[in-house]
Structures are given as structure tokens and as C-alpha cells.
Amino acid sequence: MIENLELHHLKTLDALYRNRTLSLAAESLNVSQQAVSAKLKRLRDILGDRLFVREGHGIVPTPYALTIQPFVEKIIQQLNTFPLPQDNDIAQSERTLVISATDYGQEIIIKSLVSKLEAAAPNVKLIVCNIEVASLTKKMSQGEINLAFTTSGYVPDGLISEPLFQEKYLCVESSQAAVADLSAPLSLQALIKREFVIVNPGAPSLIGSADSWFEQQGFKRQVYISVPSFYMAKTYLASSTKVGFIPARLLLNAKPLRQSEQGQSLRKIALEKYPPGFEVVAVYHASAKQDPLIRWVIEAVKQLAL
């Protein structure tokens, strides 16, 4: 019958232990004395013991009631210290935060976030995994992934996205290949004569995010290779005669490349027109909307982007 015990039963027991009268126990629980009597009767049925007997003007616990008193007090004590979401101090939080991100998000966001997170929440462990698209909603609903950094165009249905900052593209080629004439901005008509390296982090495809923009301008570009990360795109661009669009922050934040690391470096090509950039967003499940740690991370990233 122990499985029939409910929380209000334990609260009643605790009040009876502390007050030793039905009337004072009822007052501490803010219920009627009849309600306490009814709960005590139910407790006697569940536990198979009288629990409390009358003595003078009060009640005293039976030997069995004294035996279970430490267990009841421990449960009540733990209940009273149960953390509420708004009281959850991330500095005291001990948990593992799983973040899914593109290589862009890992380089621009997480690289800067790690030291701030360590200072604010030293007991939080961090797992970073490559971006999920097809299974992101399921994994977030099951708690396998807590937060994702991606672009607004890659947010699956059923998840919440929150804007972080805007990013723009720069057109680049190998500085040693030096095919483009940099004396004047390059026209799109001249640009599409070149073959492109594109990035598709979500799914393999020879169609990139800028293809629809090219078609709107009346052009169709030639895609030679599609890779899953900007790191691979930069590496391939630096050792070929191809062109590609790379996010500005990845180029501005990049350290100078040594010959032994990548063979060749990149140079920017000024264009008459550029494709639209993209919005970087934080993505999370509705169940994590009030999570203090998730909120802290998102606000920290917004500050980093300023």
C-alpha cells in the first residue's frame, strides 16, 4: 500500500510530528482540523498503524511513527530545497550542456563563449557537436541536444529560434591564383564564368543558398564542389582557381595562414553586387524556454556579437 502515499500525506505527517495536536497541525497546513483527521485516517489505512494516539490534550507518535519520522523529515527537507527555475543560479549548476553548431558557429560563437561560460558556471560541462538538421527537433525534445547555433533558414519545425546577429558574405579566391582583376568591382556576368565552391552543412547538395539570388539577377552559376564546412571551403579555395562566398567574420577573425598550414591564402574580390547575408540564430525546444543556463548563454552570445 506504500505506493498510495502522496505528498500531501507526508506533509500532514510532518505537521503532526512538529505540532503534536490536530488543531495546530491544521493551522500550520492552512486546512481544517477535519481535513487533518481525514488524512490521518487515510494514512492509518495505507501504513497499517495508528501512527498517533491521544494523550492529554495532544497526540503522541507510535513506535512505528517514530521509526519512519527520519524518512519523512528527509523528504520534506529535500522538497523545501527543491530549486525553482527563477532561483536557479548557474554558478551553482552542475550539468552538461550539449550545443549543436555549424563550423561557423563553433569558430565564431563557441570559441569566444567557452571562457565566459567557464567563469560564470564552472561546474557546467560542455559538449559541442556538428549541426543537426533532420533529427534536431527529436533530439531536442528528448534532451539530447540543449541548444543549437545555425542560420534562420535551417531551423526545423517545432523549435524556437532567437535572432543573434546578422552576417554578410565576402567573395574570395586564392591570392596566388589571382584570376580576378581587382582594379574595379567585378560584375556578376564576369563572376559566373568562374566555378564555385559552396557550403552545405545540413545536407549534401550542389545547390547553395546563393543560387536563387543569382537566378533573380538573371544568371546561373557553375558549382564545381559542395563541402560540409567553411573550413573545407577555405582550404580548397586557397589551393585552386575556384571562387566562393565566405562569411565576413570568418575572414576578419582568421589568423594569417602559414605556407605549411594551407599552402596559399585567400584574397577578397570586390563585386558590383553581393548576395544577401544570413541571420545567425539560437535554436532551442519550447521546454527549455525558461532554462536559466540557456537564457544566460543566449544573452552572452548577443553581447559577444556587439
Report pLDDT digits (tens) over 100-121. Answer: 999 999 999 999 999 999 999 9
- Tell me the DSSP string of 173-204: EETTT--S-TTSPBPHHHHTTSEEEEE-SSS-
Task: List the single range of 33-42, 54-63, 83-92 with lowest mean pLDDT.
Answer: 83-92
Percent above pLDDT 70 for the chain: 93
pLDDT: which is higher, 49 or 177: 49
Same fold, 91-166+280-304 and 169-276: yes
Q: Are 229 and 235 in contact (CB under 8 A)?
A: no
Highest mean pLDDT: which range of 20-29, 79-88, 127-136, 202-211 = 20-29
* Short-list 141, 151, 134, 13, CA closest to 71: 13
> What was the pLDDT predicted at 254?
53
Q: What is the pLDDT of residues 222-280, one digit of tens each?
A: 999 999 999 999 999 999 999 999 999 998 765 443 333 444 589 999 999 999 999 99
Domain ranges of the chain: 2-82, 91-166+280-304, 169-276
Q: What is the pLDDT of residues 166-225, one digit of tens each?
A: 999 999 999 887 676 778 899 999 999 999 999 988 778 999 889 999 999 999 999 999
- CATH fold, domain 91-166+280-304, is D-Maltodextrin-Binding Protein; domain 2 (3.40.190)
What lies within 8 Å, CB to CB, of 132 at 6+ separation is 100, 139, 145, 148
Q: Would the pTM count as exceeding 0.85?
A: no
> What was the pLDDT predicted at 186?
94
- CATH fold, domain 2-82, is Arc Repressor Mutant, subunit A (1.10.10)
> What was the pLDDT predicted at 88?
65
Superfamily of domain 169-276 in the CATH hierarchy: Periplasmic binding protein-like II (3.40.190.10)
Average pLDDT over the chain reads 89
Report the pLDDT averaged over residues 24-37.
93
